[in-house]
Amino acid sequence: MNYILSFAAAALLVIGLAGNGFEMRKARLSTVKDEAMSTKTMFVSKSNFKWYACIGAALVLMALANAHT
């Protein structure tokens, strides 16, 4: 059971980080002005929340896998 949780957590983490990276790249290439690419607007973009949820789920699964060992 712990192996399954650990594998699922690792997969979710990789998917979440890769997806967030592609989303950030897409946002960076689509902005024309430097003011629109501030840290505040980049990380709070609505399109990034699904990747943050994926990364958060991976962290929870990692914690659950480590709690049962």
Q: What pLDDT sits at residue 31?
A: 65
16: CB partners within 8 A, 6+ apart: 51, 52, 53, 54, 55, 57, 58
pLDDT digits (tens, 9 = 90+) for 39-61: 666 777 788 899 999 999 999 99
Q: What pLDDT sits at residue 63?
A: 93
Greater confidence, 68 or 24?
Answer: 24
Greater confidence, 38 or 12?
Answer: 12
